[in-house]
Amino acid sequence: MTYRTCKPPSQSVYSGVCHRLALTSKIAIGFCSGVRHRLALMSKITIRLTMSQLLIYSIILTNMSYKRKRKTYFGFIHYKKHTLSSD
């Protein structure tokens, strides 16, 4: 048990502090990565929500325009069918 006294006390304290810092940094890194992951998930969810909202808005807009331009819309489909069948 004499080998403990061979080490200078400052070194042992320093190693202990380093170990503590390493542990805290690991915890901090883990916490940061967890927060980043959560943020990424949240952003993905928000992106999905905004995309769905945009899709809903576009559907509403197309429906509105479809009601106004019904004749031209059907004419366009008719034209598309003819062009596809000719190829």
Write the pLDDT tens digit of every residue in 50-76.
767 777 677 666 666 655 555 555 555
Q: Could you tell me if residue 30 is inside a domain? A: yes
Write the pLDDT tens digit of every residue in 8-50.
555 555 555 556 666 666 656 566 566 666 767 766 766 676 7
Q: Could you tell me if residue 6 is inside a domain? A: no
Q: CA torsion angle for 30, 36, 40, 41 (degrees, to 10)?
A: 50
Quick check: helix, strand or coil at residue 31? helix
Helical ranges in the chain per DSSP H:
3-6, 9-68, 70-86
Would you give the DSSP letter of residue 6?
Answer: H
Residue that the structure tokens 């952003």 belong to? 43
> What domain count does the chain have?
1
Q: Could you tell me if residue 75 is inside a domain? A: yes
Q: Could you tell me if residue 22 is inside a domain? A: yes
Q: Could you tell me if residue 5 is inside a domain? A: no
Q: Could you tell me if residue 4 is inside a domain? A: no
Q: Could you tell me if residue 1 is inside a domain? A: no
Domain that holds residue 73: 11-86
Q: Could you tell me if residue 64 is inside a domain? A: yes
Give Cβ neighbours of residue 73 (< 8 Å, ≥ 6 apart): 66
